[in-house]
């Protein structure tokens, strides 16, 4: 891209490029050069908009966490409709069918990124902790509607679903789990809590 040409939504263009690289090639392939090449912009664009590459990656991760707000709202809107197991299966599948698994690998792969994220995200892996919060909120709504037992420990069920879901989807190079496998996992985790 010629110098001096204004880029519209450069931040989003770079983040979308990072998504594609992570999904296609994994965290080891994610560099400032690969991101700018994938985005079709000049090499210095990342460093003109972010202090360094880890700052770019931290903002990228936090942006992808913010994008989960829509998914969280949709899941909470599903409370009281359909089956709890089906709603959770859809949510887990959507979460791990996205770039979330690759982001977990990226955070694990880069020490400096983890340190940078700790400045604004004090505990846990941002995508996974946000997902657990999303699931727990949904389960609380279902508990209030009487579809989940009053004594159900939603703060235990939610991370159990996220952790087990992550294990099912963790091999980004293999075939994703069949929908029935994900549903059976969800059904097993929540079986004792359903009413």
Contact present, 181 and 168 (Cβ < 8 Å): yes
pTM: 0.85
Instruction: Please check the confidence at residue 3 and state whether its pLDDT lies above 50.
Output: no
The backbone region for 146, taken as left when phi is positive above 0, alpha when psi lies in -120 to 50, beta otherwise, is: left
For residues 180 and 89, give the distance between their C-alpha atoms in angstroms, rounded to a whole number: 9
Instruction: Please check the confidence at residue 7 and state whether its pLDDT lies above 60.
Output: no
Residue with tokens 């942006």: 63
> What digits encode the pLDDT tens for the residues 124-175?
788 888 999 999 999 999 999 999 999 999 999 999 999 999 999 887 677 8
Specify the pLDDT at position 5.
Answer: 43
- List domains and CATH numbers for the chain: 7-49 (1.10.10.60), 54-193 (1.10.357.10)
* 2 confidence band (pLDDT: 50, 70, 90): very low
Alpha-carbon separation of residue 51 from 2, 46, 59, 141 (angstroms): 22, 8, 11, 41
> What digits encode the pLDDT tens for the residues 8-19?
589 999 999 999
113: closest CA among 64, 63, 55? 55
């Amino acid at each position: 891209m010629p110098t001096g040409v204004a880029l519209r939504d450069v931040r989003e263009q770079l983040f979308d490029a990072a998504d594609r690289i992570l999904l296609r090639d994994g965290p080891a392939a994610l560099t400032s050069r690969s991101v700018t090449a994938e985005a079709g912009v000049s090499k210095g664009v990342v460093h003109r908009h972010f202090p360094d590459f880890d700052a770019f990656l931290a903002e990228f991760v936090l942006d992808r966490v913010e994008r989960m707000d829509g998914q969280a709202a949709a899941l909470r809107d599903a409370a009281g409709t359909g089956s709890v197991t089906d709603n959770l299966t859809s949510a887990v599948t959507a979460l791990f069918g996205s770039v979330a698994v690759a982001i977990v690998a990226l955070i694990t792969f880069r020490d400096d990124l983890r340190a940078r994220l700790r400045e604004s995200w004090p505990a846990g892996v941002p995508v996974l902790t946000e997902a657990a919060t999303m699931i727990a909120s949904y389960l609380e709504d279902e508990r209030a509607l009487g579809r989940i037992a009053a004594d159900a420990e939603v703060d235990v069920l939610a991370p159990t679903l996220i952790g087990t879901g992550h294990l099912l989807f963790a091999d980004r190079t293999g075939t994703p789990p069949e929908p029935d496998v994900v549903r059976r996992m969800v059904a097993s985790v929540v079986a004792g809590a359903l009413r």
